[in-house]
A and B are shown apart, each in its own frame.
Chain A
Amino acid sequence: MYKPFAITLDVGSSLVNHTGSWRTERPVFVHRLPPCNAACPAGENIQGWLYHAEEGNYHLAWQEIMKENPLPAIMGRCCYHSCERACNRTRLDETVGIHAVERFLGDQAIQHGWSVTKAPPAHCGKVLIVGSGPAGLSAAYHLLRLGHEVEIREAAAKPGGLLRYGIPRYRLPRKVLDAEIDRIIQMGAVLRLSTPVTDLLEVIREGNFQATFVALGAQKSRWVDLPNDGSIPISDAIQMLRSLEDEIAPSRLQGKRVAVYGGGNVAVDAARSAIRLGAAEVTILYRRSREKMPAHSFEVKEAVEEAVQLKCLRTVEGIQQGQLVLEERVLTDGNEPLPTGRREFMAADLLILALGQEVDTDCCLAELPEINLLAGNLQVDATMMTGRDGLYAGGDMVPSERNITVAVGHGKLAARHIDARLRGTTYTPPATAKPATFERLNTWYFADAPSTHQPVLSLIRRQSGFEEVLGDLDESNALFEARRCLSCGNCFECDNCYGACPDNAIAKLGPGRGFAIKYDYCKGCGLCIAECPCGAIEAVPEEI
């Protein structure tokens, strides 16, 4: 080769110079657990399905939800969404409206008739499920997906448990409920309605069931003993709400003065239903202060908007001549309500008790010797199995926060353990990643984008019927809402690391395939780590 004067070496690329040897810390891609996922009692991969929804890929997003939770349209409406309280975006502006997107996806599935294809039954077991509430439905669904045969026995005339006989239709329209239950039944579950199980062992023996999941709920209302001259009829919230399933006579409580005793969500549902049944006056009586009401504040707010009155720091002491005898309480310094002895009278035509529910201990299980009903709750181990081998339980009847999402989570967990049992293996839940905390994000890269709120039904229509209160997000809003997700702790392929490396030491592998770090050249400056919006890269010290 011709070389100019005084040039002795061939020119070559600096690629021969491996600057990676300068490094004392290496960047590595990690997966962290986003707070929303960590908070979901049903174990949904929220961030994972938002990722698909962001692209407008609703079917894929829905399928991702369905891996964990068979009831997205119901969840999107009634779940108390602990995910949103945990959402990191709350620290920027407002939480991502996870429930609204979930509802949108659930409704898309119903609209388009999307269904789940059952896994090929490699080994088929036969499982009995008692109770068709969310826990039973979830167990049935997951067992079906895992290739088992299931039979559900239900005492009531229709399936759904408290989804149907508790949650009023203004929060959960029945066509939505029916569609999501039908989809599970269509997968091949045998559902036997109006079939209360009384002798469990007999049913198991007869049907040759290899495992059983019971989820009977906690539907027995607590009552109080009141000095009562019989001048005001007493009912309980469960009874009242249950009666709404069969016929709604819009004027059933026309002109009546209704008192609801209790401060939980159930009391609020009963009160709001009474308004819709034409009651002239509806008052919630609660023994502590308003701040202490266990009902969710947004539900209390909606109730107050609908003209439900709140009388807090009151106990009901008796019923006399068409009046409730109330006792006033005061808050002490320690915020404890103390009785004052001061009496107050309140005219009423109906008293509805909403003082909580208990597990029916006279149920079909009580006789079994291995069963432990501690403090009225059925005890289970970490695999959701009761003291009796092969008998699993979940939902409201086991010790837990009682809500539909916990119930769905129980059903899923029990199904996975039952599946393992029937296959002679054990189920080990996947290890959880370290949390994706807010501090790890580089929020500069996220534009301000306040949440879109769902439309709310007009007050007049809310007060006069059982039409759904919260409306749908339309598609563009759902898409917007999904895109507000910060992708905490997991790469969303924004290309920041690929762009920010002064040493060109990050290779882009293409859509869906992420990035690779060229350790031959990475000097370990940490720029990619600092500029990653979602905290998906970490510094690991090199061995020197």
Chain B
Amino acid sequence: MSDENAPEQKVKFYQKGTYTVGNRLVNVRQRSVQASMDRSNSLTCGHRACQGCGEALGARYAIDAAMRATNNQLIAINATGCLEVFTTPYPETSWQIPWMHSLFGNAAAVAAGVAAAMRVKGLKQVRTIAQGGDGGTMDIGFGCLSGMFERNDDVLYICYDNEAYMNTGVQRSSATPVAARTATTPAMGANPGNSFNSGKNLPLIAMAHNIPYVATASVAALHDLEAKVTRAMSLHGARYLHIHVPCPLGWGSAPHDTIQVARLAIKSGLFPLIEAEHGMVTATVPIRQPVPVTDYLKLQKRFAHLLRGGEENARKLAAIQTIADNNIKRFNLVRKEAPRV
């Protein structure tokens, strides 16, 4: 029923398992890379990430998909951060691909160099990925990244956004959401947590570089994530993928809730799933079963102070709801259409 050569199934299928990782009832080609027995497991067992680490999960999802898309011809350059530290405590490595680490802030520049080297050596089929956390990408590595975009170097840069500097103990970054408690924005005083009107939106900044491809993805939307990696690898030039990866330690969420938390970020509108080419939005993923932002916030201790009642908190919650509502408006996220995730 589900052999490799069967025609693409157009039927609106899936009462059962529609959104699951695999589905024995659809063609092998239409199942996710993660469903296949021969996925490359680019990031294998024995790494030292926390229980339920969203970054470890997101990295395997993304790199396995890139391996499939490039026929396993892939080199990854890693910025300093959890992903680097928990995978490569000397002399062990969890990477089953060529992988290199240089510094915290220079992954984009190193990757641009690797891509140039491959070109010079005539290894056109070997593709380059750079990856790092939100701190390494959006703050300290931002100059190198913007340069890589602006030069249109042939690199896919993947940012694993866990919304703070996790590896050094949860310090605030420019990706930390408003009101969130971190080690440097404690839940104390008149304005507990991260201040309002701070931070930046890197996917939109990347789009402003008019590069060939920019997208956001989430560990709670595997099929969408894989489709975006695949699309990115089908293009050349500078590409940017921003993946939302919950961090149980830094967010104060239960390890078993990692995917649920990421899912609620999508369902509440706080993390829109979008895709853009050459600066223009080409697709967004409509929300299935929308929820209020509190559904998302209440699973995370970093927002606990917000949920203790009082007028001030109500005002702040309303402000966060407005952020979500604006995302929904901006990208038309609640609409009548069969959603992909």
Contact = CB atoms under 8 A, between A and B. Distances in A.
A424 interface: no
Contacts of A14: 44-48, 87, 92-94
A15 B51 contact: no
Interface residues of A, number: 54
Given A15-B46, A447-B14, A500-B259, A22 B51 contact: yes
Contact of A15 (B44, B222, B248): B44
Given A54-B25, A504-B41, A12 B91 contact: yes
Contacts of A447: 14-15, 18-19
Contact of B37 (A449, A499, A508, A530): A508
B45 A518 contact: yes
Interface stretch (A77-85, A396-404, A411-419, A480-488): A480-488
Contacts of B277: none
B16 A13 contact: no
Contacts of A484: 15-16
B25 A483 contact: yes
B252 interface: no
A22 B50 CA distance: 10
B185 to A, nearest CB: 27
A511 B23 CA distance: 11
A345 interface: no
B21 A498 contact: yes
B24 interface: yes
Interface centre among B16, B32, B46 (most CB of A within 10 A): B16
B257 interface: yes
A444 interface: yes
Interface stretch (A179-187, A207-215, A249-257, A519-527): A519-527
B1 A56 contact: yes
What 7 A-B pairs are tightest by C-beta distance, nearest first?
Answer: A495-B22, A526-B256, A499-B21, A14-B46, A449-B15, A494-B20, A525-B52
A223 interface: no
Contact of B32 (A499, A510, A525): A499
Interface string B51-93: 1111011001100000000000000000000000001001111
Contact of B256 (A16, A487, A503, A527): A527
B35 interface: yes
A9 B91 contact: yes
Interface centre among B15, B24, B57, B96 (most CB of A within 10 A): B15
A483 B24 CA distance: 12
B40 to A, nearest CB: 11
Contacts of B23: 494-495
A493 B260 CA distance: 20
Contacts of A493: 22, 24
Interface string A506-541: 001011000000101101111101110100000000
Nearest to A529: B256
Contact of B259 (A13, A504, A530): A530
Contacts of A531: 259
Contacts of A496: 20-22
B130 interface: no
Given A504-B44, A530-B260, A492 B51 contact: no
Contact of A483 (B16, B48, B255, B263): B16
A18 B46 contact: yes
B17 interface: yes
Contact of A510 (B37, B45, B90): B37
A254 B267 CA distance: 63
A520 B31 CA distance: 28
B256 A480 contact: no
B258 interface: yes
Contacts of B289: 444
A427 interface: no
A518 B43 CA distance: 15
A520 B45 CA distance: 9
B52 A526 contact: yes
Nearest to B341: A444
A521 B45 contact: yes
B190 to A, nearest CB: 37
B222 to A, nearest CB: 6
A330 B17 CA distance: 53
25 contacts: A11-B91, A11-B93, A14-B94, A19-B48, A55-B24, A56-B1, A444-B19, A446-B15, A447-B15, A483-B14, A484-B16, A486-B16, A492-B17, A495-B35, A499-B61, A500-B21, A500-B259, A502-B60, A521-B45, A525-B52, A527-B258, A530-B256, A530-B257, A531-B259, A533-B17
A502 B57 contact: yes
A508 B57 CA distance: 17
Given A499-B35, A501-B57, A523-B51, 13 more contacts: A10-B91, A13-B94, A15-B44, A22-B51, A444-B263, A445-B20, A446-B16, A495-B31, A499-B21, A524-B51, A527-B259, A530-B256, A533-B17
A19 B259 contact: no
A348 interface: no
Contacts of A12: 91-93
Nearest to B339: A447
A522 to B, nearest CB: 9
A526 B255 contact: yes
B297 to A, nearest CB: 19
A17 interface: yes
A241 interface: no
Nearest to B338: A447
A494 B96 CA distance: 26
Nearest to A520: B45
Contacts of A527: 52, 57, 255-256, 258-259
B251 to A, nearest CB: 14
Given A445-B19, A445-B20, A16 B46 contact: yes
B34 interface: yes
B19 to A, nearest CB: 5
A387 B231 CA distance: 75
Nearest to B12: A447
A498 B34 contact: yes
Contacts of B24: 55, 492-494, 511
Contacts of A533: 17, 20
